[in-house]
């Protein structure tokens, strides 16, 4: 966050390693939306998930429940993957 709003300042900040650049004054809703975008990007790097007794390894393409393999169709697996990678995000059924 900065009060410096000139294009060279923005470019310098982004090239210097900033994930985003927001100029003051800003709306709190905009700041929260920008933070959510960064968190979504960060969370998509996760390849293994464990929820209670269910384990999903996206890198290996496997799912287990209670330590036992769960057979999923390709479509079921892809749906599970989309849901895991978009936790806490409202999704549209139009996703392909």
Q: Are residues 2 and 14 in the same domain?
A: yes
Q: Are residues 77 and 94 in the same domain?
A: yes
- The rounded distance, in Å, linking the Cα atoms of 84 and 79 is 9
pLDDT score, position 63? 92
pLDDT score, position 30? 85
pLDDT score, position 42? 67
Strand ranges for the chain from DSSP E: 48-51, 54-57, 62-65, 68-69
Q: Are residues 54 and 95 in the same domain?
A: yes
Q: Are residues 28 and 61 in the same domain?
A: no
Low-confidence ranges of the chain (pLDDT < 50): 95-96
pLDDT score, position 2? 63
Give the total number of structural domains in the chain: 2
> The domain containing residue 61 runs over which residues?
46-96
* Residue 78 host element (H or E): helix 74-85
- The rounded distance, in Å, linking the Cα atoms of 51 and 75 is 20
Q: Are residues 38 and 50 in the same domain?
A: no
Tokens of 62: 């496997």
Q: Are residues 91 and 53 in the same domain?
A: yes
Residue 1 · residue 26 · CB < 8 Å:
yes
């Amino acid at each position: 966050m900065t009060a410096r709003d000139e294009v060279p300042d923005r470019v310098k900040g982004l090239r210097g390693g900033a994930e985003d650049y927001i100029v003051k004054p800003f709306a709190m809703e905009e700041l929260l939306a920008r933070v959510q975008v960064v968190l979504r990007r960060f969370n998509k790097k996760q390849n293994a998930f464990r929820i209670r007794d269910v384990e999903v390894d996206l890198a290996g393409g496997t799912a287990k429940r209670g330590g036992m393999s769960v057979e999923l169709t390709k479509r079921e697996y892809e749906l599970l993957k989309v849901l895991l990678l978009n936790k806490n995000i409202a999704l549209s059924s139009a996703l392909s």
